[in-house]
């Protein structure tokens, strides 16, 4: 007996883990199945003015659990959509898959939690405010009576089949439409879903159900959002735009969600009738940090004193409310207001209300968040990121300048990024970036090499200590003696004789070498042409600078060469040597600053250059001040250059002379549209 009890107890102990192994996974699977949940919770439906249009606006929360992807659609129309559906029980044409069409239609509705009620021909009045589907393949013979019964109950008949001259009666007999009946008149009173005689119409029925749920019609307006929610999303918005003349309508939110286990959930949230209030004139779209402005007109009204308030709600619980008027409006009230404390990005419904919560005007306001940041620094390359409401900005131009500078450059923004090449003079400063009409200040601190920083920090004391030690321990310098050997005295340098026409030809050779077109040269540039000329004649090419300068002086005295400020040119070129020399000085400065500009032409007195952060238009001041044209280049820094301080002082005296163009030029200089400089000092203005 004891052995039997022991065996039974051992059997139970072995059986318990075995049962747990098979039963526990099923419970876990059931628990996982219960986790999947999705639902749309509307916060507000609005029909208001926005940007010159009517806007159907929905604010809602999407509550979910275990959802891998979801789609929410805002579907609006002027006509009230129906959630009631009936399927007419009636014989159908042979060859028309009425059963498949009906099954697809019913399952499409059922997936959104809707049911289709089956009704006989005689009970059509029992479908009130519904859509009545007649999947008969050809028109029922009683179509006119069905239409009349549906209209009496506020419903609409929906025929699915082929439009033809045939009808089918209640006994299933197909016959031709009577001669006194007009097919066109009948079809105008009902909705038709064309469906051919086919053996598989399940997909057609399912698609028809979805089109009725989403209110797919020419007079409907939609907006959708797709997302992969990790948790419940409480502050979502959708806007469906419509023509301005729409004054009322209906909206519904439709959602479809798929779980991690590929299960599906869908549903509908229907709103009541929406009536558009009078529009509030003013700001429609601003950026965070800006203040919206509105002008308000309240119609005259008799009665007691009213207190008018401007309110702005963002559907996240934040409501801004400020009093704008208190008193009588018997003659109406017209005023303007700035709505403060509206700073968070998102949509706001702005309305004018009184103390009794009566609304006088309403409009939609969108506050956008523009973010511009430095993402990385690579030497002189500053990489920026730019987003608008969290989305990367694309296909725009960013205008960038350094704080305190009047110069700016434009950079293309692609997929939310752009790069600025700059070498700021200070360690800490800020970029001013203009995007979408808004300026943003982006502070930065230049990266410095830690090793170089500490080396420079301690280099001075180390050098001073080394110098002190050197002064203490150095030996007394020994006297040095010079050595001269008379037997090897210096021989005079050989001279090269050149005809004057060959010396002048060296200017052409040097101009061709440097890519110039008859521009004056300095001594070192002319030496290149002379060396080439001498080499071609088989002579030595090592020429001393003093020899070239002596030859230039002789040619100047003879009138064969003209010179100014160290630049020379043959007099036969007929150059205005003062202006041409100035152009050369300016060109050299622009090259040193890394500017890009075309090679100046002969007798040209102006340069258009593209420099870092700015475009520059430089003109050389002519000898006759009165011939100076006061027009200036738009979109560029305009600079007037002089060859000396004396010429600049003379120009300042001329500006006060009252000459015709002097006043206009003075105004340009005063308004910083024109800058004056000495040619050699151009670098200070770039």
Express each pLDDT in 308-320 by its tens digit: 998 888 776 678 8
Co-location of 249 and 154 in the same domain: no
Co-location of 61 and 177 in the same domain: no
Domain containing residue 506: CATH number: 1.10.10.10
Read off the pLDDT band of 482 (50, 70, 90). Answer: very low
Per-residue pLDDT for 518 more than 80?
yes
Higher pLDDT, 382 or 463: 382
What's the confidence (pLDDT) of residue 672? Answer: 84
Co-location of 584 and 568 in the same domain: no
Torsion of CA 92, 97, 98, 101, to 10 degrees: -160
Domain contains 343: yes
Q: What percent of the chain has pLDDT over 90?
A: 4
Say if CB 249 and CB 47 are below 8 A apart. Answer: yes
Domain contains 41: yes
Per-residue pLDDT for 244 more than 90?
no
Q: What is the CA radius of gyration of the chain?
A: 45
Average of per-residue pLDDT across 537-542? 62
Token pair belonging to 303: 């009665």
Co-location of 325 and 381 in the same domain: no
How many domains are contained in the chain? 6
Co-location of 266 and 281 in the same domain: no
Co-location of 353 and 376 in the same domain: no
Domain contains 489: no
Domain contains 167: yes
**pLDDT tens per residue across span 93-111:** 888 888 889 999 999 888 8
Given 445, 472, 491, which residue is the final one in a domain?
Answer: 445
Domain contains 29: no
Of the ranges 4-18, 348-362, 383-397, 414-428, which one carries the lowest mean pLDDT score? 4-18
Domain contains 464: no
Token pair belonging to 115: 């049911």
Per-residue pLDDT for 20 more than 60?
no
Q: How far is it between the farthest Cα atoms of the chain?
A: 147
Co-location of 389 and 506 in the same domain: no
- Rounded distance between C-alpha atoms, residue 434 and residue 237, angstroms: 28
The pTM of the full predicted model, rounded to 2 decimals, is 0.54
Per-residue pLDDT for 424 more than 70?
yes
Read off the pLDDT band of 568 (50, 70, 90). Answer: very high
Q: How far is CA 85 from the centre of its chain?
A: 46
- Rounded distance between C-alpha atoms, residue 271 and residue 70, angstroms: 21
Domain containing residue 418: CATH number: 2.60.40
Given 340, 368, 396, which residue is the final one in a domain?
Answer: 368
What's the confidence (pLDDT) of residue 494? Answer: 61
Which of 68, 423, 96 is CA-nearest to residue 256? 68
What's the confidence (pLDDT) of residue 570? Answer: 92
Read off the pLDDT band of 278 (50, 70, 90). Answer: confident
Indicate left, alpha or beta for 146 from its phi (over 0: left) and psi (-120 to 50: alpha). alpha
What's the confidence (pLDDT) of residue 346? Answer: 83
Co-location of 209 and 96 in the same domain: yes
Give the DSSP letter string of 93-115.
Answer: -TT--HHHHHHHHHHHHHTTT--
Higher pLDDT, 98 or 658: 98
Domain containing residue 647: CATH number: 3.40.1350
Co-location of 92 and 72 in the same domain: no
Given 187, 213, 239, which residue is the final one in a domain?
Answer: 213
Say if CB 257 and CB 38 are below 8 A apart. Answer: yes
Tally the C-alpha atoms within 13 A of residue 341's C-alpha that lie toward its C-beta.
Answer: 10
Average of per-residue pLDDT across 416-427? 79
Place of tokens 């590929």: 262
- Rounded distance between C-alpha atoms, residue 431 and residue 444, angstroms: 8
Domain contains 482: no
Per-residue pLDDT for 488 more than 70?
no
Domain contains 30: no
Read off the pLDDT band of 562 (50, 70, 90). Answer: very high
Gap between the terminal Cα atoms of the chain? 111
Co-location of 208 and 116 in the same domain: yes
Per-residue pLDDT for 55 more than 90?
no
**pLDDT tens per residue across span 150-175:** 888 888 898 888 888 888 888 888 88
**pLDDT tens per residue across span 130-147:** 899 998 888 888 888 888
- Rounded distance between C-alpha atoms, residue 607 and residue 641, angstroms: 11
Helix (H, G, I), strand (E, B) or coil at 170: coil
- Rounded distance between C-alpha atoms, residue 420 and residue 444, angstroms: 13
Mean pLDDT of the chain: 80
Co-location of 267 and 284 in the same domain: no
Per-residue pLDDT for 19 more than 60?
no
- Rounded distance between C-alpha atoms, residue 471 and residue 487, angstroms: 42
Q: What domain range includes position 134? A: 85-213
**pLDDT tens per residue across span 21-44:** 545 444 444 444 457 777 888 888
Instruction: Supply the angle between the helices 500-514 and 523-536 in degrees, to the nearest 10.
Output: 110
Co-location of 293 and 330 in the same domain: yes
Helices (H) and strands (E) in the chain, counts: 12, 38
């Amino acid at each position: 007996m004891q052995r039997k009890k022991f065996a039974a107890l051992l059997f139970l102990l072995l059986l318990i883990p075995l049962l747990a192994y098979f039963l526990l996974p099923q419970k876990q699977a059931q628990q996982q199945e219960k986790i999947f949940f999705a639902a749309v919770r509307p916060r507000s439906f609005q029909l208001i003015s926005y940007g010159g249009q009517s806007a159907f606006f929905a604010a809602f929360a999407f509550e979910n659990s275990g959802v891998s992807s979801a789609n929410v659609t805002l579907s609006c129309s002027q006509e009230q959509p129906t959630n009631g559906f009936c399927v007419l029980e009636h014989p159908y044409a042979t060859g028309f898959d009425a059963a498949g069409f009906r099954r697809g239609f019913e399952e499409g509705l059922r997936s959104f939690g809707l049911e289709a009620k089956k009704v006989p021909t005689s009970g059509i009045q029992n479908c009130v405010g519904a859509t009545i589907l007649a999947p008969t393949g050809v028109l029922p013979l009683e179509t006119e009576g069905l239409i009349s019964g549906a209209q009496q109950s506020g419903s609409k008949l929906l025929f699915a089949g082929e439009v033809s001259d045939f009808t089918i009666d209640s006994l299933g007999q197909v016959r031709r439409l009577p001669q006194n009946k007009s097919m066109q008149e009948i079809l105008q009173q009902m909705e038709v879903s064309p469906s051919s005689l086919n053996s598989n119409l399940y997909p057609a029925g399912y698609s028809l159900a979805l089109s009725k749920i989403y209110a797919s019609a020419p007079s409907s307006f939609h907006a959708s959002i797709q997302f992969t929610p990790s948790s419940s999303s409480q502050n979502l918005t959708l806007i469906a735009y419509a023509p301005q003349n729409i004054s009322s309508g209906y909206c519904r939110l439709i959602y479809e969600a798929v779980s991690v286990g590929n299960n599906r959930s869908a549903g509908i949230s229907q709103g009541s009738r929406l009536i558009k209030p009078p529009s509030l004139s003013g700001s429609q779209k601003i950026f965070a940090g800006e203040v919206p402005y509105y002008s308000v007109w309240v119609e005259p009204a008799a009665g007691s004193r009213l207190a008018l308030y401007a309110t702005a709600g963002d559907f996240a619980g934040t409501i801004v409310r400020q009093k704008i008027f208190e008193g009588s409006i018997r003659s109406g009230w017209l005023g303007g207001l700035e709505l403060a404390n509206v700073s968070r990005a998102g949509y706001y419904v702005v309305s004018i209300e009184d103390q009794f919560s009566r609304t006088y005007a309403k409009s939609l306001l969108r506050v956008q968040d523009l973010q511009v940041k430095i993402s990385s620094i690579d030497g002189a390359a500053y990489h920026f990121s730019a987003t608008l409401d969290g989305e990367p900005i694309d296909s725009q131009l960013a205008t960038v300048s350094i704080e305190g500078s009047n110069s700016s450059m434009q950079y293309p923004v692609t997929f939310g990024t752009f790069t600025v090449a700059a070498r700021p003079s200070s360690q800490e400063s800020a970029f001013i970036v203009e995007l979408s009409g808004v300026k943003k200040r982006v502070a930065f601190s230049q990266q410095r090499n830690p090793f170089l920083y500490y080396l420079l920090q301690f280099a001075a004391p180390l050098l001073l200590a080394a110098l002190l030690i050197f002064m203490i321990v150095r030996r007394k310098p020994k006297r040095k003696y010079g050595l001269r050997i008379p037997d090897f005295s210096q021989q005079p340098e050989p001279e090269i004789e050149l005809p004057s026409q060959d010396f002048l030809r060296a200017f052409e050779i040097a101009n061709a070498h440097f890519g110039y077109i008859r521009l004056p040269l300095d001594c070192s540039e002319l030496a290149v042409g002379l060396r080439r000329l001498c080499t071609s004649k088989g002579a030595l090419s090592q020429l001393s600078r003093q020899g070239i300068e002596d030859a230039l002086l002789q040619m100047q005295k003879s009138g064969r060469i003209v010179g100014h400020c160290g630049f020379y040119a043959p007099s036969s070129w007929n150059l205005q040597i003062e202006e041409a020399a100035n152009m050369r000085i300016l060109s050299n400065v622009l090259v040193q600053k890394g500017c890009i500009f075309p090679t100046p032409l002969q007798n040209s007195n102006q340069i258009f250059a593209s420099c870092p952060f700015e475009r520059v238009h430089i003109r050389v001041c002519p000898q006759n001040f009165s011939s100076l044209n006061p027009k200036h280049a738009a979109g560029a820094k305009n600079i007037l250059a002089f060859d000396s301080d004396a010429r600049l002082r003379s120009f300042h005296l001329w500006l006060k002379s009252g000459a015709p163009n002097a006043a206009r030029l003075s105004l340009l200089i005063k308004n910083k549209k024109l800058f004056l400089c000495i040619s050699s000092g151009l670098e200070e203005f770039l």
